[in-house]
């Protein structure tokens, strides 16, 4: 049985510089995989390669369909959501207008969406309070909430989230983590790129470690927590 996302032999480049070297990874439907590693290990490049944002070669399949040659918006329409590290909001538009842009078009025969505008405002009450505010005037934490809420309104089957806790205050991070748990509980698979192991332990069931553009460990969370050698060599922990 094929995985929801299947990656084999994936290489990727920025210009002439090769960043990914034969990456292989699988994510099952409803699974949360934490992808950890040092800065520069290739984690964000992997996310961008999946979404068709960098030059790559290799096998990429989502829900049984090859992604090679598809444009980013076509990949998104298949059910892949992406929350980049640098909160890409539309700064001149209001919070509400940003959310409306994230709504998935309803195709005939498709299941009812898991998330609505009301869900987004319930998960992040501050967005309801600031729904008429220009997104560019929000704090960094509020922009992160907006980016995440907009992505979930696209009704993804798999959500790729790059460093959701970067630069956030503890209280804001707790709200974001609560949203991620809700996504998991509603059956949304996630590729969670995160340096904070405490977040990975709270959300994920499986951990993959990336180093020098390769996957150097891939296993259940419990197995990972016992591998102090992996944590020390590739994460500087222990």
- Taking only the tens place, the pLDDT of each residue in 110-129 is 667 778 899 999 988 999 99
Domain that holds residue 217: 5-235
Burial of residue 52, with CB atoms counted within 10 A of its CB: 0-12 exposed, 13-18 middle, 19 or more buried: buried
Query: Which whole number is the average pLDDT over 195-213?
Result: 89
pLDDT at 145 over 80: yes
Q: What angle is formed at CA 208 by the lines to CA 145 and CA 104, rounded to 5 degrees?
A: 35
pLDDT of res. 108:
46
Burial of residue 236, with CB atoms counted within 10 A of its CB: 0-12 exposed, 13-18 middle, 19 or more buried: exposed
Query: Which whole number is the average pLDDT over 207-234?
Result: 95
Tally of domains within the chain: 1
pLDDT at 82 over 90: yes
pLDDT above 90: percentage of residues in the chain:
67
Q: How far is CA 40 from CA 14, 93, 163, 196, in A?
A: 13, 33, 13, 16
Query: Which whole number is the average pLDDT over 201-211?
Result: 93
Query: Which whole number is the average pLDDT over 156-182?
Result: 85
> Of the ranges 59-68, 167-176, 222-231, which one carries the lowest mean pLDDT score?
167-176
- CATH of residue 212: 3.40.50.300
Helix axes of 140-152 and 95-102: crossing angle, nearest 10 degrees: 30
Q: Which residues does 85 contact at the CB level (< 8 Å), separation at least 6?
A: 44, 162, 163, 166, 193
pLDDT at 221 over 90: yes
Q: Is residue 209 within a helix (H) or strand (E), and if so which, with residue range?
A: strand 206-211
- The strand pairing partners of 162, in sequence order, are 193
Tell me the average pLDDT of the chain: 90
């Amino acid at each position: 049985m094929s995985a929801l996302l299947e990656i084999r032999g994936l290489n990727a480049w920025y210009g002439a510089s090769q960043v990914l070297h034969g990456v292989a990874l699988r994510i099952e439907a409803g699974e949360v995989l934490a992808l950890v590693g040092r800065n520069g290990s290739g984690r964000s490049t992997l996310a961008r390669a999946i979404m068709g944002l960098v030059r790559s070669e290799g096998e990429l399949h989502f829900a049984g369909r090859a992604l090679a040659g598809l444009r980013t918006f076509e990949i998104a329409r298949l059910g892949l959501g992406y929350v980049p590290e640098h909160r890409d909001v539309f700064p001149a538009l209001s919070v509400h207008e940003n959310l409306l842009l994230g709504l998935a078009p309803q195709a005939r025969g498709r299941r009812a969406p898991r998330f609505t505008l009301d869900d987004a405002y319930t998960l992040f009450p501050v967005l309801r309070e600031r729904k008429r505010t220009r997104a560019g005037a929000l704090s960094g934490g509020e922009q992160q909430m907006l980016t995440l809420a907009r992505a979930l309104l696209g009704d993804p089957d798999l959500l790729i989230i790059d460093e959701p806790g970067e630069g956030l205050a503890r209280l804001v991070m707790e709200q974001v983590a609560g949203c991620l748990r809700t996504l998991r509980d509603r059956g949304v698979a996630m590729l969670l790129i995160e340096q904070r192991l405490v977040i990975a332990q709270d959300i994920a069931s499986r951990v993959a470690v990336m180093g020098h553009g390769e996957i150097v460990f891939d296993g259940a969370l419990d197995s990972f927590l016992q591998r102090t050698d992996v944590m020390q060599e590739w994460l500087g922990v222990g």
